[in-house]
Amino acid sequence: MLRIAMLTLALGLVSTAVQAADAPANAPASGFDAELAKKTGADEHGMRSYVLVILKTGPKRMPDGAGRDAMFAGHFVNMERLAKEGKMALAGPFAKDPDGWRGLFLFAVQGIDDAKALTETDPVIVNGEMVAEYHAWYGSAATMLIPELHEKLQPPAKE
């Protein structure tokens, strides 16, 4: 439980940093942007509902080789698709963890059932490489800007 609390705190800090980075330098103190609030799904507090998905080591490790490579390639394609659809606000791996925590998804959906439906499309879940744990989370709507900002930070792939 402490780990979830620390993760929630970290996500809150990231959201605050995103808000600060996106604000114009000469913005007035109120700085409210109705268009941005609408774009990010913000409520009257500048917040929105999410579902935090913790990905943990599953019961079936895919053996090294082409099958495993294809599974993880599909995992990355799936995350990119969900981010472009505006359903995934954040995703990423954890450092090697003795408790089997592998990564997280943060979905901009109304409930856990919606998050389960999205998670079940991922090859690492389908193949049993990972299992998912779901937590409702209420956080800054600015988190929705992370995928857009990330694209600006990621250089084009080398050919």
**pLDDT confidence of residue 2:** 44
- pLDDT, tens digit (0-9, with 9 covering 90-100), for 58-75: 999 999 999 999 999 999
**pLDDT confidence of residue 43:** 95
Tell me, yes or no, whether 137 lies in a domain.
Answer: yes
Q: How many domains are contained in the chain? A: 1
| Domain range enclosing 56 | 47-152
Contacts of 78 (CB under 8 A, 6+ apart): 121, 122, 123
Q: Say how far apart CA 49 and CA 107 lie, in whole Å.
A: 9
β-bridge mates for residue 105, sequence order: 53, 91
**CATH code for the domain of 129:** 3.30.70.1060
8 A C-beta contact, residue 77 and residue 88: no
**pLDDT confidence of residue 29:** 64
- For the chain, residues with pLDDT lower than 50 are 1-2, 5-6, 9, 13
**pLDDT confidence of residue 13:** 44
Its pTM surpasses 0.75: yes
**pLDDT confidence of residue 30:** 77
Tell me, yes or no, whether 16 lies in a domain.
Answer: no
